Chains A and B, each alone.
Chain A
Amino acid sequence: MDNASEGKTKDFTSSGILLTIFLVTKLIKLNNLTFSYDKENQILTDINLKIPTGEFSLLVGPTGCGKSTLLKILADLYPKFAGHLSGTVTLAGLKSAMMFQSAGEQFTMATPREEIIFALENLCLTKAQYEKRLNEAVLFAQIDYLLDQKINTMSGGEQQRVALAVLIAMNVDLFLLDEPFASCDPAARKFLIAKLAHLRDQGKTIIVSDHVLSGYEGICDNLFQFQGKKIVQFAPDEKEQLLQKSMMAASYSFALPEQNEPNCFTLQNTRIYQNRLLLKQEHLNIVAGKTTLITGANGVGKTSLFNALTKMLPYSGSITYHNQEINKLATRKYLLKVGQIFQSASDQFINVSVADEINLSKKHRTNSFFTDEKINETLSYLELDSLLDHVVYSLSGGQQKKLQILLMLISDQDVLLIDEPLSGLDAVSAGKVMTLLRKSQKTRNQTLLIISHELTNLADWCDYHLVFQDQHLSYTNK
C-alpha cells in the first residue's frame, strides 16, 4: 500500500472513531427541569438528567412519582397540553413518539390499519413507503390478525401491542413507552422486550417506565429511579444486581379443589363470544370462600369472563351463582353480591372527589370489618389520606388503583372479581394492597377471583389456580 492511500485509510478510521464517539456521546439532556400541573404542587423539581441515545433506559419509581409526566414532557406533549415547565429539555435532534399508559385512548381511527395510515399521512409518507412500514410494524408486533378489527373490542394487552405497532410504523428515533406491558402476559412481555432490544441494536433510543423489573436483565442499559422528587441513575453493577434479583422467579404451587367443597359459580356448557368464541366450557366449579387466581395469554378472554359473570356480556349455556342461573337473578340485587374491580380504575368511580367516593361506599356497608376508624387507618396506610379533596380523575394511575380497590372492599360483596389489581402499582403499594385484600378475604370469608399477570405478592396466598387457554379453563397445581 503506498503512503498516500495508507494516509487516507487512517483518515477514514479516525473519522470513523470520531463519528462513533460523536454518536455515542449524544445525550438527551434535562437541565433544571421543574414541572407542575397547578401552582402549588410540583411534580418534578429541579431535575438534571442525561439519558444516552441509542440505548435502552428503564425508568422506575413509586406510584404517582411523575414517570408518566416525565415521558410526556419528553414527548413534547407537556406543557403544550397541560402544566407549567421551567428549565430546558434537549432531545439531541431525535424524533420521538409515545405510547400512553391507557393505550386504548390513544387512537383516532377505528382499526389498527386506519390508525397507521393516519399516522403515516401525518408524517407525509407515500403509499409505497406505507406498505413497507405496515409490513414491518405488523411483523414486529405480530398483529396481522388484529389489523382490521375494531380497536375498542380488543383486550388491554392487544391494544398495547397495536399502540407499539403504530410507533414502529412511524419509525421514530426515540420510543417513549409508559408501562407498555402492564396488561401483557409473561410470554408477550418477554417477546416484546426482546424486540425492543433489537430496535435498540438498530440505533433507536428506548425509554420505558415500568413497575415490574423482570425480563430486563442483560437488555436494559440504564436504570433510573425516582427518589422523592429527584431522579438517580444506578451504577452498572447495582443495576445488574437489582435486575437479577427480580429474575429469580419463584415457583408457586397450588391446591386442587376437592369435590365436596361449596361452589360459588358453576359453569355448564357455557359459551362466551366477543368477536370470536372465547370460552367453551363443559363444566367448571368455582369454590366459595376461597381465592382463585386466573392466568392466561392476552386476549384469551379473561376480562370477558368477568363481564359475563357481572352480566355485562351475554353468554349461552348456563352460569349459576349458588345454584341460581345468573341471567334470571335481578341485576340490582345480584351486583350487590358479586362485584367487579375493573381493569381501568377510573371506570369504577361514580363521584367526583376522593372523600365523596369513600362516603358513598360507607353508606351501603353492613360489615363490621371496615369501621370508620379502620377506613381512616387504611387511607393513611395506602397514602391516600392527604388526597381526600382531590378529584378522583386527577390522581395518578397507581393512586386511582389503590382507591378503587379500597372502595370495592368497603362495599359489601361476597364475591369480588378482580381484574389486574397490581397494574400501575409499585412494589411497596402492591404489597400493601395485597395485604389488605388478603386480610379482608380471610376475615369476611369472601370469594375472590383474581386475574393477574404479575404473580409476586399474590400467588403465594391464592388457594387455587385456573389457567385459561384454548377456550377452556382448567385447574392446575403449578
Chain B
Amino acid sequence: MNPSFKFFLALIISLEISLKSSLCTNLLIIGFALIYLIYKHIKLKNLLLTLLMPLIAAFTVFATLYWFAPQPNLQNALSLSSRVYVYTLTIYCVSIGTTATDLARSFEQNFHLPSKFAYGVLAALNIVPRMKTAVKQIRTAGMMRGVYLSFWSPVLYFKAILVALNSAENLAQGMASHGYQENAKRSVIVSIPIKKSDWLTASIILLLVNLALFTLK
C-alpha cells in the first residue's frame, strides 16, 4: 500500500479508537494486526518485544481503572488498556515494509509536503546512527582523558548537541552543494504511485473498523 495511505489509515483508526471505546473493535484490530505481522514474517523476537513493551503502560491503565477507581468497571478498564496495543501494533504494521525514505518521498509526491520538511526529517533520521556512534566515541574520548561521562552526564549531552549542531550546519551546506534549493522544482526519479487498490483497501478497512466500532460493544 502507498506509505502515506498506510500512515493516515493508522492515524485515523487511532483517533477513532480514542474517541469511542469499544473493546471488541480493539480486540479485532489487535487480532488482525497480529495476523498481518505474522503474515509479513517478522522476527519472533521483535514480535515478543512489541507485545511486552506496552505491557507496562497497558497494565498501569488497567490497574488505575480497575483497582484504584472509585467505581471499577472491567469493560472500561480492558477497553482503555487494550488501546495501548492498538496504537503500537497499527504503527508497527505501518513501519513494516515502509522505509523512512519511502514515507518522506510519498509525503512529498502524494501530499505535496514541502521538500524542505521531508528531506530535513530524513536527514535528521540519518544522523541518528551517527549520533549513536558519536556518543560512544565521546565516552571513550572522555575516559582516555580521565573523565567518566555517565549516561546522564550533562557534558555528554552538551557535546552530543554540539556534534549534532555541527552536523546540521554541514548538512544544510551539503544539501545545497548537491543542488538542493528551497522551493525549487524537483523531478521524480523514484515515484511512489497511489493505486486504485490503495483507495479500495483503505476504504474497506476504514468501513469495517467503523462498522465494528458502532455496532460492537
Give A contacts to B, CB under 8 Å: 72, 75-77, 80-81, 97-100, 102, 105-110, 114-115, 117-127, 130, 150, 152, 166, 170, 310-312, 331-332, 335-336, 339-340, 342, 346-350, 360-361, 363-364, 393, 407-408, 411, 413
Q: Nearest chain A CB to B89's CB is how many angstroms away? A: 26
Given A122-B180, A346-B166, residue A360 in contact with residue B136 (CB < 8 A): no
Contact residue among B134, B169, B176, B180 (Cβ-Cβ distance under 8 Å from A347): B134
A115 touching B177, Cβ below 8 Å: no
**Residue ID in chain B nearest A107 by CB atoms:** B174
What is the chain A residue whose CB lies nearest that of B172?
Answer: A81
Complex partner residue of A350 from B138, B170, B173, B180, CB under 8 angstroms:
B138
For the complex, give the distance between the alpha carbons of A114 and B123 in Å: 12
Which of B24-32, B72-80, B182-190, B196-204 lies at the interface with chain A?
Answer: B182-190
Q: Report chain B residues within 8 Å CB of A347.
A: 134, 137-138, 141
The chain A residue sitting closest to B119, CB to CB, is A108
Asked if B162 is at the interface (CB within 8 A of a chain A CB), the reply is: yes
Contacts of B154 in A (CB 8 A): none
List of A residues within 8 angstroms of B159 by Cβ: 349-350
Q: With the chains together, A375 CA to B126 CA distance in Å? A: 40
Judge whether B147 and A109 touch: CB under 8 Å. no
Chain A residues near B140: list those with CB within 8 A. Answer: 310-312, 335, 340
Q: Which residue of B lies closest to A392 (CB)?
A: B162
Interface residues on B, range: 35 or more
Least Cβ–Cβ distance between B157 and chain A, in angstroms:
13
A174 → chain B closest CB, angstroms: 12
| Contact A312/B136 with A122-B178, A339-B144 known, Cβ cut-off 8 Å | yes
A150 to B188, CA, bound (A): 22
Tell whether, in the assembled complex, residue A110 and residue B126 are in contact, meaning their CB atoms are under 8 Å apart. Answer: yes
The residue from B141, B167, B170, B188 contacting A348, defined by CB atoms under 8 A apart:
B141
Distance between Cα atoms of A311 and B140 in the complex (Å) = 9
Closest residue of B by beta carbon distance from A123: B179
Chain B residues with Cβ under 8 A from A72's Cβ?
Answer: 173
The distance in angstroms between the C-alpha atoms of A105 and B162, with both chains bound, is 14
| Chain B residues with CB below 8 A from A126, complex form | 187, 189
What residue in chain A is nearest B168 (Cβ atoms)?
Answer: A105
A160–B129 Cα distance when bound, in Å, is 19
Q: How far is the CA of A121 from the CA of B189 in the complex (A)?
A: 6
Is there contact, CB below 8 Å, between B184 and A109? no
Partner among B119, B143, B148, B166 whose Cβ is within 8 Å of the Cβ of A393: B166
CB pair A97 B179 closer than 8 Å: yes
Measured between C-beta atoms, what is the minimum distance from B168 to chain A in Å?
A: 10
* Chain A positions within 8 Å of B162 at CB level: 393
Residue of B119, B144, B155 most packed against chain A (CB within 10 A) = B144
Could you list some 8 contacts between A and B, CB below 8 A?
A: A107-B174, A108-B123, A118-B119, A123-B187, A310-B140, A312-B137, A346-B163, A361-B145
- 9 shortest A-B CB distances, which residue pairs? A106-B174, A122-B179, A364-B146, A105-B170, A335-B143, A119-B178, A124-B187, A339-B144, A108-B123
List, in ascending order, chain B residues with CB within 8 A of A125's CB: 187, 189
Chain A CB within 8 A of B175 CB = yes
B133 lies within 8 A of chain A by Cβ: yes
Residue of A nearest to B174 (CB): A106
- Beyond A152-B133, A411-B144, whether A109 also contacts B189 by CB under 8 A is no
Q: Considering only CB atoms, which chain B residue lies closest to A357 in the complex?
A: B145
Contact between A100 and B178, CB atoms less than 8 A apart:
no
CB distance from A104 to the nearest CB of B (A): 8
Q: Are A80 and B122 CB-contacts (below 8 A) given A312-B137, A347-B141, A350-B145?
A: no
Find out whether the CB atom of B130 lies under 8 angstroms from the CB atom of A152. Answer: yes
Considering only CB atoms, which chain A residue lies closest to B147 in the complex?
A: A350
CB of B64 within 8 Å of the partner chain: no
Q: Does B93 contact A (CB under 8 A)?
A: no
Q: Is the CB of A100 within 8 A of B187?
A: no
- Chain B hits for A77, CB < 8 A: 173, 176-177
- How many angstroms from the CA of A150 to the CA of B129 in the assembled complex? 10
Task: Kindly provide the distance from the CB of A147 to the nearest chain B CB, expressed in whole angstroms.
Answer: 14
Least CB distance from B147 to A in Å reads 6
Whole-angstrom distance between the Cβ of B172 and the nearest chain A Cβ: 7
- In the assembled complex, which residues on chain A have CB atoms less than 8 Å from the CB atom of B174? 100, 105-108
Q: Within the complex, which residue of B146, B163, B169, B175 is in contact with A363, where a contact is CB–CB below 8 Å?
A: B146
Instruction: List 17 extra interface pairs beyond A124-B186, A312-B136, A360-B145, CB under 8 A.
Output: A76-B176, A99-B177, A105-B167, A106-B178, A108-B123, A117-B190, A118-B119, A118-B180, A332-B148, A335-B140, A342-B141, A347-B141, A348-B141, A350-B138, A360-B147, A408-B144, A411-B144
Distance in angstroms between the alpha carbons of A125 and B166 in the assembled complex: 31
Are B137 and A102 interface neighbours, CB within 8 A? no
In contact, B146 and A97 (Cβ under 8 angstroms)? no
A115: B residues at CB distance < 8 A: 178
A70 to chain B, nearest CB (A): 15
A407 contact set on B, CB distance < 8 A: 145
